[in-house]
Structure formats: structure tokens, C-alpha cells
Amino acid sequence: MIPYRPEPLTDFHNPANQEAFAAALAKVEQELGRTYPLIIGGKRVDTGRYIESINPSKKAEVIGRVAMAGQDEIERALEAAWEAYRTWSRMPVIERAALLFKTAAIIRRRKHEFSAWMLLEAGKSRAEADADTAEAIDFLEYYGRQMIDLARRADDLLTPISGEDNHIEYIPLGVGAIIPPWNFPLAIVTGMTVSAVVAGNTVLLKPAIQTPVIAYKLMEALEEAGMPPGVVNFVPGDPAEMGDFMVGHKDVRFISFTGSKQVGLHLNELAAKRIPGQRWIKRFIAEMGGKDAIVVDEGYDVQAAAQIIAQSAFGFSGQKCSACSRVIAHESLYDELVDRVAEIAKAFKVGDVRDASVGTGPVVDQKAFEKVTTYIEIGRGEGRLVAGGTASNETGFFIQPTVFADVKPDARIMQEEIFGPVVAITKVKSFEEAIDVANGTDFGLTGSVLSTNREHLAYARHHFHVGNLYFNRKCTGAIVGVHPFGGFNMSGTDSKAGGPDYLLLFTQMKSVSELL
Ligand SMILES: NC(=O)c1ccc[n+]([C@@H]2O[C@H](COP(=O)([O-])OP(=O)(O)OC[C@H]3O[C@@H](n4cnc5c(N)ncnc54)[C@H](O)[C@@H]3O)[C@@H](O)[C@H]2O)c1
Ligand SMILES: N[C@@H](CCC=O)C(=O)O
């Protein structure tokens, strides 16, 4: 087996790649509007009630109609998953890993098609969608290898003693609920699903309501790669109707959740309650929101800083948990930095991502549009609007990159996750003050420090309390196996997706000792 290497991104300057992507997009456009069933125990189930998934760039365009699971279907899916668990959990690790490698090969072969689905269903630009597909492939390749290593090295971790034969094994937990967000509709869905599955668990996958079609495409790839029935059960639905029911169910052994702080905290409470017939303490793994800051130190190149901020704040319309939504700038360069960031924000072309010249696309739906525009109104009272502030939901959900200057650290737009193309800038007098302000939220996900002062970088290394700290680069774009990803405090349960410890979260260690 060759060592893991991250999947290369597509060079869209190359005309051949442009053509290949355009052909994939045209093919996918022919397939819009179809109906997709649930998949329970390998069987297609049509409930007659559907989620209508739409294109956020062109809201009249229906991407697909996906059947909705209710509580009965969750019961059936749990039964199917426990049935499949009997054999899947005992399958040799190498065979479980092979499922991931084959799925990676299938997605790689049709990568532009997967990216095209995301362009249309999530409003990702070509490049953002390509990175999402590459990350999905990375999770498959990385977790497959990680599981093989984990199983192989287990016994080497023990201290031998004479007269005993001792072994340890990382065994799976049981049946889990996989609850991903919509914003990395292939990468995060894939990573969350296959990490649990390669460890020997079986799961119910409940994709986000905004992006169920791309999740169905993953199911097709897993099936094509030979996944046995019942290992992953596809149960999209209205979380208000079946979400609490699934998470609170006595037969669910673990919950792997990625999403907002609000929903994560609610589900954590629910999962902690033991209900009659429940024989375990549920494991709860949560990766939640961020309020990520870029600190710009005295003496840093202002133009370079402004570019890094714009990339981190406005890529995919700021809809990344890692996105920069706060800038903390030293007073010596503050005014010039505000002007440069505003200039770049104003020059951003916003529109339908089918147009390759567009800088950033829409926000995902009407609810997101309302939330972000409400925060823009709040921002008008909390700071000085220097760019953007305009929005239109006539054809799609478009919001111009927006910049507020002179915002106080305790303002709402400096404290609450907006999840849109909005950045707030504040001024500080010293580097220490900058790090205090950066640490002054409930979150602790990503952060960047832009500085040429080595002492300041060393100070930030120790004092800036975030799970992913970056120096002199953007705060988005973690790579699987290179930058293990996940945050502190209200950003989650301190897990690190794409890192060497992640699979342990889906296993428990069994120790077997024989007296010789
Ligand atoms: N830390 C990370 O790695 C990471 C990565 C991506 C996104 N996020 C965060 O995710 C959020 C954006 O995603 P979102 O809008 O989909 O988040 P969300 O919290 O609204 O939803 C996340 C998932 O939870 C489901 N859900 C909602 N209520 C539920 C319930 N009662 N029972 C069961 N499931 C329920 C949703 O349907 C969705 O599948 C942002 O806060 C972002 O920062 C974090
Ligand atoms: N892992 C991604 C963010 C995932 C959350 O939205 C990044 O590093 O930018």
C-alpha cells in the first residue's frame, strides 16, 4: 500500500480541465429534478414525502426530491444497522479499509461530476467544490490507512510480562447516528460516515436538509464499491420530526455531529439522558461553530494581510466554520488595512457560480439569507460599514461581502457566529491585547496571526487558544492528515477530524489476558 498523500487539486487554468468540468456540469444538469429514496438495509424506500432540494444560485431550479424518513423509518433503520453490525463488526480490518479505498477510486474517477453536484446544490464555486471532492477522497484514503495501522500496532503498545499472553484490540462501539452539516456536503459527510464505518460500526446517515442529493451520490459510490446492506442507512428527514427521536433512541450507541453550537448543545443534553432499556452511556462527538480571528501585527505587509483576510472571510461566502469573521489589527496599520480590505470586498463579483468569473456565490437558503442580513442590520449599529451591506434574494441568495470597522470586541457581530460574508474589524494598541481580544469569545476553532515578530509568534503559540492556529496564512483550508481539524471550548468536543487520534473516538479497547 502506498503511503497516504493528499489528493491534488484541479488546475482550472488548464483548458482541458475547464472542458472536463463543463462536460460534467452539463451531464449533471440533465439529471436535475429526479426523486431519490431512503436506503434502509440496502433497500430503496419511498415514503411519499419529500425534501425539495434547490439551487441557491437559482432558487427556482430543483436539484432533486429526496424522500423523508419519519420515526418509523428510523426504527427500521436501527434494526437494519444492528443486523448488519453482527457481521460488519467482525469483518477483517483490511476488508473494511478496502471499501474506503474502492470508494475513493470511484469518486476520483468521476470527481468533476461530484463537484458539479455541489456547485448546483450548495452554491460552491468550481474551485471550492473541487477542494471538497478532494477532501472526501483524502478522508477515504487516510482513515482506511489509519484503521489498518491502529489494528496492527495495538499489541506493540503493551508492556510484556512473563507468564501471560496479553492482547488488546480496538473494537467498534455499535450503531451510530451521523449528523453532518450542509457546508462541506461531500467531504464532511464522507469523513464522518467512513470514520465510524471503517472502525466496524454501522450507522444511520441523516444528511442536512439543504444538501441531501450529494449525500445520496456518496451512498451510490459506497454501494458500487461493495458496501454490504445495512452498514450505512440513508435516512434524510426533517430534524424537528425525527432528529431528537433518533439521537434520544435507546438503541443508538454514539452520535457524531457537526453543526452549530446551538444544535450541538441541545443534542449533547439529549444524548446524556439514559432512557429505559438503554445499556450504555452514549458517546457524543461534536464539531461545532467558530468565531475565528485574524490578528494583524505591527509591521506586517498591509496588502498581503488584506488578501489573506478576504480569502479567509469571503471564500464560499464565509460559510465555513473556519472562516475569518473578526480582524484584530494593530493601531499603526489599522486605517490602511481597513481601506485595503474594503477595496477587495467591493471588487468581489457575487453571483451564480456556474459563471466561472464569479468570486463568490450565494448563501445556502432563505433562512441563511435572513440570518446574515439581520446581522448586517445589527452591524450598522455596532460599527462603521465600509463595504457591502447589500443583498438580493430575487433569483438566488446573494450577499455582497460586507466589512464593518471600529467594532468593539464585545459587540454581537464580534461574538456570535454569522456564517456569511461579513467581517468585523477592531483596533488594538499591543500584541498582547490582540491575543486577549482573539480569545474573548465562547469559541476556539481557528485563528491566524500575521506577524514578522518571532517573539510575538511564540507568544501566540502558547496563548492563542484555538484548535487550529495558523501563522502568516489564511485560517481556512485544513488538509486531511496535514492539519488535524477541530476546535476548543464551544467549538466542539476537542476531536480532530483528519488527525491520527480521530478513529479512537469510534472504538473501545478490549484487553484479553491468558495465564500461561
Ligand atoms: N467544527 C467543524 O468542523 C464544523 C464544520 C462544518 C460546519 N460547522 C458548523 O456547522 C454549522 C453550519 O451547519 P448547519 O447549518 O447545517 O448546522 P445545524 O446545527 O443547523 O445542523 C447540523 C445538522 O444537524 C441537524 N439537526 C438540526 N437539528 C437537529 C435535531 N434536533 N436532531 C438531529 N439533528 C438535527 C441538521 O439537520 C444538520 O444535519 C456552523 O455553525 C458551522 O460552524 C462546524
Ligand atoms: N476544514 C475546513 C472547514 C470546515 C468547516 O466548515 C477548513 O479548514 O477550512
What would the pLDDT profile of 405-433 be if each residue is shown by its tens digit? Answer: 999 999 999 999 999 999 999 999 999 99
Task: Note if 287 is an active site residue.
Answer: yes
What is the per-residue pLDDT for 475?
98
What is the per-residue pLDDT for 80?
98
Instruction: Say yes or no: CB of residue 259 within 6 Å of ligand 1.
Output: yes
203 pLDDT band (50/70/90 cuts)? very high
Q: For residue 478, which atom of ligand 2 is closest to its CA?
A: 8
Q: For residue 272, what are the CA distances in angstroms to 242, 266, 267, 399?
A: 18, 10, 8, 39
**129 contacts: CB under 8 Å, gap ≥ 6:** 114, 115, 116, 118, 119, 122
d(CA 67, CA 51): 6
390 pLDDT band (50/70/90 cuts)? very high
Instruction: Say yes or no: CB of residue 56 within 6 Å of ligand 1.
Output: no
What is the per-residue pLDDT for 402?
98
CA of 479 to the centre of ligand 2 (A): 9
Bridge partners (DSSP) listed for residue 286 = 257
Task: Select from 321, 445, 491 the residue to mutate for testing ligand 2; criterion: most ligand atoms less than 8 Å from CB.
Answer: 321
Task: Select from 235, 258, 312 the residue to mutate for testing ligand 1; criterion: most ligand atoms less than 8 Å from CB.
Answer: 258
d(CA 390, CA 388): 5
**CB–CB of 328/428 below 8 Å?**
yes
Q: What is the mean pLDDT of residues 364-382?
A: 98
Q: What is the mean pLDDT of residues 457-486?
A: 98
Task: Select from 128, 260, 322, 482 the residue to mutate for testing ligand 2; criterion: most ligand atoms less than 8 Å from CB.
Answer: 322
Instruction: Say yes or no: CB of residue 467 within 6 Å of ligand 1.
Output: no
Mean pLDDT is lowest, of 94-103, 150-159, 341-350, 391-400, for 150-159
What is the per-residue pLDDT for 438?
98
Quickly tell me which residue has 495465564 as its cell. Answer: 515
Cell of 394: 430575487
What is the per-residue pLDDT for 227?
98
Q: What is the mean pLDDT of residues 453-463?
A: 98
SS3 state of residue 423? strand
Q: What is the mean pLDDT of residues 508-512?
A: 96
**170 contacts: CB under 8 Å, gap ≥ 6:** 150, 151, 154, 199, 503, 504, 507, 508, 509, 510
**CB–CB of 183/127 below 8 Å?**
no
What is the per-residue pLDDT for 159?
94
pTM: 0.98
Share of the chain above pLDDT 90, in %: 99
What is the per-residue pLDDT for 157?
87
Q: Which residues line ligand 2 (CB under 6 A)?
A: 183-184, 320-322, 476-478, 485
Q: What is the mean pLDDT of residues 492-513?
A: 97
Tally Cβ neighbours within 10 Å of residue 319.
26
Q: What is the mean pLDDT of residues 256-269?
A: 98
What would the pLDDT profile of 151-179 be if each residue is shown by its tens digit? Answer: 998 888 899 999 999 999 999 999 999 99
Q: For residue 179, which atom of ligand 1 is closest to its CA?
A: 39
Dihedrals phi, psi of 229, to nearest 5 degrees: -60, 140
What is the per-residue pLDDT for 170?
96
CA of 55 to the centre of ligand 2 (A): 22
**Nearest residue to 422 (alpha-carbon basis) of 313, 337, 348:** 313
CA of 16 to the centre of ligand 2 (A): 29
Instruction: Say yes or no: CB of residue 289 within 6 Å of ligand 1.
Output: yes
CA of 288 to the centre of ligand 1 (A): 7
What would the pLDDT profile of 8-29 be if each residue is shown by its tens digit? Answer: 999 999 999 999 999 999 999 9
Instruction: Say yes or no: CB of residue 481 within 6 Å of ligand 1.
Output: no
Instruction: Say yes or no: CB of residue 392 within 6 Å of ligand 1.
Output: no
- Average pLDDT over all residues of the chain: 98
Instruction: Say yes or no: CB of residue 290 within 6 Å of ligand 1.
Output: yes
CA of 323 to the centre of ligand 2 (A): 8
1 pLDDT band (50/70/90 cuts)? confident
296 pLDDT band (50/70/90 cuts)? very high
Quickly tell me which residue has 470511484 as its cell. Answer: 106
- For the chain, count helices (H), then strands (E): 15, 21
What is the per-residue pLDDT for 155?
82
pLDDT at 283 over 90: yes
DSSP summary character for residue 360:
B
Of the residues 287, 331, 416, 455, which is catalytic? 287
Atom 2 of ligand 1: nearest residue by CA position: 287
